[in-house]
Amino acid sequence: MYKILKRRQLNENVVLMEIHAPFIAKKALAGQFIILRVDEHGERIPLTIADYDREKGTVTIIFQIVGQTTMLLSQLKEGDALLDFVGPLGKATDFEGAKKVCVIGGGVGCAIAYPSAKQMFNSGAEVDVIAGFRSKDIVILEDEFKAASTNLYITTDDGTYGEKGFVTNKLQSLIDAGNKYDLVVAIGPVPMMKFVCEVTRPYGIKTLVSLNPIMIDGTGMCGGCRVSVGGEIKFACVDGPDFDGHLVNFDELMKRNSTYKEKESHDKSHCRLYQGL
C-alpha cells in the first residue's frame, strides 16, 4: 500500500497528493509518470509525476477530477493509502542542453509542466513560463512557478487574472518581441498542444509535448497508448510520453481518447461512488 502523506485542494476540481513511494522517488525525473490503482475494483490510470522528494521518499501527483477514478481518488484523505502505485514510467524529458526555454502549461497541465521548468531553471537555463487557465478561480502553482522561472506569464481566457487571452497569443507576442527560444515545452489539453506547435512550426523551434493517451499497463505490453508520430506507430509508455510536437497526429489522439467518453457518462448513474461505497 502507498500512503497519502499530504492532500491539498488546489482548486475546486484539482487535487494535489504526496504519496509515499521511496523507490519511485529515488529515480523519478521530469516528464515521467506513474500508474495507480485506488482499490481492487479500480482502473489503472496514468498520471504524470508533478514533483518528488528523494529524501522524504515521496512522489507528488496533481490531478483534475474528470472521471470515475479521479473522483474516487479525490475522496481519499491524508493517511489513506492507494493499493497500487508503479513507476517511474516512460522516458524522462530530454532537454538537450537548451539554454533559453519557454515552458507552457495549460490548466492542470501546469502540474506536469512545473517539474520541467524547475529542472531546467535549476540547471541554469533561462526559463520563461506561460501558464494558461480558463479563469482566475482555477489558477494553480503560481508561487511554485515563480520560484522556478526567469519570467512567469499567466493568462486567463476571460481576463479575470493575468493577461487576457490564450497561451498561444502570449507565445506569439514573446517570439515577436525578439525572444529566441531553442526549446518550447507544451503540456496541457490536446488542442492547446496542437496550436502551440502551429505557432512554433514556422520558426522551426523544437517543441516537446507530453501525451496522455489511454493506457493500461504502462510498461510496453498492451499497446493501448499507441500514437502516430511522424507517420509511425509509437507507444507513449515506452517511447514517450514526450514527443516532437511537430510530428504528432493530435487529431488521432483526441479521437482515440474519446473511446470511452459515452460509456463513462452513461455509467455515472450506477457508478460505485454514488452507491455509497
Residues that bind another protein (CB under 8 A): 23-24, 27, 37, 41-44, 68-69, 83-89, 216-217, 219-224, 226, 228, 233, 235, 238, 249, 252, 255-256, 258-260, 263-264, 267, 272
Work out the angle at residue 221's Cα, subtended by the Cα atoms of residues 220 and 226, and round it to the nearest 5 degrees.
65
Q: Which is nearer to another protein, 39 or 163 (CB)?
A: 39
State how far Cα 223 lies from the chain centre: 21
229 Cβ neighbours under 8 A, 6+ residues apart: 239, 243, 244, 247, 248, 249
Angstrom distance (rounded) from CA 90 to CA 110: 19
Query: Residue 62 CB, nearest distance to another protein (Å)?
Result: 21
Query: How many whole angstroms separate alpha carbon 21 and alpha carbon 2?
Result: 6
* Between 176 and 232, CB nearer to another protein: 232
DSSP calls for 62-76: EEE--SHHHHHHHT-
Do residues 33 and 241 lie in contact, with contact meaning Cβ atoms separated by under 8 Å?
yes
CB of 142 to another protein, least distance (A): 32
Distance (Å, whole) CA 169 – CA 232: 31
189 close to 107: Cβ distance less than 8 angstroms: yes
Whether residue 189 is preceded by a cis peptide bond, meaning omega within 30 degrees of 0, is no
Nearer to another protein, 159 or 223 (CB): 223
- When the beta carbons of 33 and 181 are compared against another protein, the nearer one is 33
Lookup: cell for 138: 482555477
Amino acid at 46: P
Q: Report the nearest approach of another protein to the CB of residue 268 (Å).
A: 12
| DSSP assignment string, 91-150 | PPP--TT-SEEEEEEEGGGHHHHHHHHHHHHHTT-EEEEEEEESSGGG---HHHHHTT-S
Q: Which is nearer to another protein, 191 or 220 (CB)?
A: 220
Closest separation in Å from C-beta 113 to another protein:
22
Of 43 and 182, the one with the shorter C-beta distance to another protein is 43
- Provide, rounded to whole angstroms, the least separation between the CB of residue 168 and another protein: 25
Nearer to another protein, 35 or 171 (CB): 35
Distances (CA, A) of 159 to 113, 141, 164, 168: 22, 18, 4, 15
Tell me the closest approach of the beta carbon of residue 205 to another protein, in angstroms.
27
- Nearer of residues 160 and 249 to another protein, judged by Cβ: 249
Least spacing, CB of residue 45 vs another protein, in Å: 10
Closest contact distance (angstroms) between CB of 102 and another protein is 29
